[in-house]
Chains A and B, each alone.
Chain A
Amino acid sequence: MTPAPIDLPDDLIALIGVPQYPVTADFPVERGYAWNTLAATENANPIYWDDTVADALTGGPTMPLATLSLWMRPHRWQPGAEAEQVALQVHFDLKARLGLPEAIMSDNTLIFHEPVRPGDVIRHHQVLRSVSGIKTTKLGTGRFWVIDVEYHNQRGEMVGVESYTGFGYQRPDETEEVAA
C-alpha cells in the first residue's frame, strides 16, 4: 500500500508518520489478565503458571506475549470520562473523517521485545502509516489503513510493536442509499 493516494484529504496526509495519542496506561500490568488470557485459550505454558519456571527462564513472572494490546485498551468507563473510551483512537478518527461507518481488522503484526512484567506501567503511541485508495470488497466499499502502536515500559525499554490493517467501509445497501 502506498502511503497516501491523491484523493485523500490533506489533513489526513499530514498525519501519516506522525506519532499520535501518547498515553500511559491508566493501570499497571497485573497478573489477573495473564490468567484470564491463559484460561480463555487453555494455554498451559508453565512460564506463566509456575513462578519457579518463570524465575529460571525469564527472570521472574512475565505476561503472555499476545496480551501486548491490553495496555492500550482503556477502561470502558472511568470517573470524568464524557464518552465511551476506545482503543486505537486513530482507527475511529479515520472512520469518522472518511465517513465510513463500519470497519474490520484484516491483518495484525506483533513484534515482541523486552518481556512485560507484572507491575510495569506501559506507555504507547499510535502512528498512521498508510491509507489506501477506494476499494470494494465483499463487505462493502471503503479504504484500508495501517496503524502502528509502539509500546515502552517505565524504564524506556521497547516491549513491543503492533501493526494493524483496518478496512473502513460502507455496506452495499448504505452505498446505494448514499448514491440515491
Chain B
Amino acid sequence: MTTVFGSVSVGDKLPPLGYDVTPTTVVLGALASRDWRPMHHDHKFATERNGVRDIFLNTPNQAAWFERYITDWTGPRGRIGRMRFRMHDSIFPGDRMMFSGDVVDTVIDETGQGWVSLDIQLTAADRPCTSCTARVALPSDPSDNPWSLRGDGWRP
C-alpha cells in the first residue's frame, strides 16, 4: 500500500491501532533500544522508587511505536521528517494501547515535496498517555520516492 500526497486531505483519519501491552512488551522495547534503566524492567524499582504502579514503556520505544503507526498508513515510500511527542502518563503492562491520528495540514515545500502534518494520540483505557505531532513526506504518485531526497533537498 502506498499513500500518495494528492489523496490526503486535512481532516483525514489514520486507521486506529490497538495493542495489548505485557511485561514482555515493555522489556523487549527497552532492551531493543539499549535502555537499561531499571524502571523499564524492575517492578520493585518502578513502584517503590518511581512511585508508579508498574514498569512502563520507555521513551525511544514509544518513538518506535509511533514510527510503526505512521508507516503502517503511509507504506514504505512515506518518509518521516520529524516527530515530537509529549508523555502525559505512562503505558503499563495490562494496558491496551490505542493509537489514533488525524491529518492536520498538507503543504508542498520549495523543492516540490509534499508533506503532511499529523496529530497522533496514544491512549490506554481512555487515559490520554502520549500526544505526538509528526511531519511526513509522501510520494506524489506511486512511483515517486521521498527517500531519494538528500542534502539540501531534504527539509524535515
Contacts and interface: CB of A to CB of B under 8 A. Distances in A.
Interface string A59-75: 10000111101100100
Given A43-B64, A65-B67, A113 B36 contact: no
Q: Max chain A CB contacts within 10 Å: which of B60, B66, B71? A: B60
A24 to B, nearest CB: 16
A41 B81 contact: no
24 contacts: A33-B32, A33-B34, A37-B33, A39-B28, A40-B25, A40-B28, A40-B32, A40-B61, A47-B76, A47-B147, A57-B147, A66-B63, A66-B66, A67-B33, A70-B60, A104-B50, A107-B86, A108-B63, A110-B83, A112-B80, A112-B156, A114-B154, A115-B147, A164-B59
Contact of A41 (B29, B76, B80, B145): B29
Interface in B36-54: 36, 49-51
A97 interface: no
B127 interface: no
B105 interface: no
B51 A57 contact: no
A102 B50 contact: yes
Query: Which applies to chain A's interface (DSSP): helix, strand, loop or mixed?
Result: mixed
B84 A109 contact: yes
Interface residues of B, number: 40
Contacts of B49: 102
Nearest to A73: B34
Contacts of B76: 45-47, 53, 57
A110 B33 CA distance: 15
Contacts of A102: 49-50
B61 A43 contact: no
Contacts of B32: 33, 36-37, 39-40
Pick the 7 closest A-B CB pairs, nearest first: A36-B32, A73-B34, A43-B68, A66-B63, A66-B64, A109-B84, A40-B29
A109 B134 CA distance: 10
A69 B29 CA distance: 13
Contacts of B147: 47, 57-59, 115
A64 B33 contact: no
